[in-house]
Amino acid sequence: MTKKINRSGVKVLTISIIFVSFLFQSCTSIKFLDYNDVKNHISKNPKIHFLDVGNGDATIIDIGDKEIIIDGGLNPETLINYLRKTGIIQNPIELMVLTHGDGDHYTGLKKLVENSNYSIIEFWEPGYDKQCECQNFITLITSIFITGYHDFISLLESKKEMKLVRPLELTHPPSTITNEIKQIPKQISPVPEVDITVLHSSRKPESARSSCFCLGSHKCAYLINNSSIVLKIEISGFSFLFTGDINGKLKEDSPDELPIDVEKKLLDNPKIKKALNVDVLKVSHHGSETASTTSFLEAVSPRIAVISASKNILYSLPKETVVKRLENNKAKVYRTDYFRNIQTEDKRLNGHIICEITGNDSLKIYYKNERQRSNLLNEFSNNEK
């Protein structure tokens, strides 16, 4: 006698499995092998590690015996495992930066802060202080993440031995900034070998088109992204721009229209607009269509663009339209989700992207994944600027 299948139960179970697989997509898609290769084949030159963390961001800047970590990805184990197995971190960690309060940026950092084996000298975060007002599926997930973010901030505030800093929003007049937020001028950081300039940070982000958003929209997630800290980092003659998840347009807008929101604020300030020009751009929001407008990319004019992304059931990032805009702007695009292997022509391999600044004024780009040893992909010289 055959049993009747409860189809509604199967349906609910299937949906649940898909939802859980989305939340923990980064946990299952990343494998780590041959870590000594990462540690030993590259010299002690300054290195910037853009980690493969799925749809999320995690970057390690290694300056010999000093380190800066920017964001930590969604999987709590990915960043800390990379640090353990490569051995590139010398305790203490000089500077840790959380660009904004999304779970795919802060979760890996939280794991490090909680780990007693690591101490952190200074931690920067934007101090976003808004709660979600929207109540649809996407913003329900966002509200869970923002609650976790506030819990994380409480943890940071309890660490009396660590200096917690909320950068000044340089794109607004000082009169609009509360006294508790400290300005961070260039070169004032725990890592004097690196020049760091904060170009944007907001505790109370807004959208120029907030009236377009109503209940059931993505307003909450959009505003959290607009709180992102934007950093220009200069190392040994090369410059890098880290943009968090800042926005410059709505999805339906043309990229050729005048930018809105954070990209507009950055471009409206002549000094900041000039400072945007860099060698390497960490592309905003995993290559989402809500950023990287034509005007913004023209101002940045990067030779290299790095995208940290992956495809899952809710998102398909990066958007090919964004990749095309970068390529049209003459940027060489490197992605953690994809690399076309010259030997195999069409094989898709996700992996870490490692930039090494050598003593002869050149920037080498390596690609590391679970199937092959680190390969040198390209080399850029300061003389080519």
pLDDT higher than threshold 90 for residue 298: yes
Q: ∠ CA 43-197-366 to the nearest 5 degrees?
A: 30
- Side by side, the strands of the sheet bearing 352-357 are 163-165, 120-124, 93-97, 66-72, 58-63, 47-50, 352-357, 362-369, 372-381
Domains with residue ranges and CATH for the chain: 45-372 (3.60.15.10)
Average pLDDT, the chain: 78
Q: Give kind and range of the element (H or E) at residue 140.
A: helix 137-158
Scanning 24-136, the segments in alpha helix (DSSP H) are 25-29, 35-40, 78-86, 103-114
Q: Report helix, strand and coil shares of the chain as percent, to nearest 5.
A: 30, 25, 45
List pLDDT tens digits, range 195-249: 998 999 988 887 765 544 433 345 677 788 999 999 999 999 999 999 999 999 9
What is the distance between the alpha carbons of residues 31 and 248, in angstroms, rounded to a whole number? Answer: 34
Structure tokens at 152: 């994380």
pLDDT band at 377 (very low <50, low <70, confident <90, very high): low
Q: Give kind and range of the element (H or E) at residue 221.
A: helix 219-226
Structure tokens at 149: 């973010």
List pLDDT tens digits, range 26-81: 332 222 334 455 555 456 899 999 999 988 999 999 998 899 999 999 999 999 99
- Side by side, the strands of the sheet bearing 332-335 are 195-200, 230-235, 238-242, 280-282, 304-307, 332-335
pLDDT value at position 138? 52
Contact 132, 139 (CB under 8 A): yes
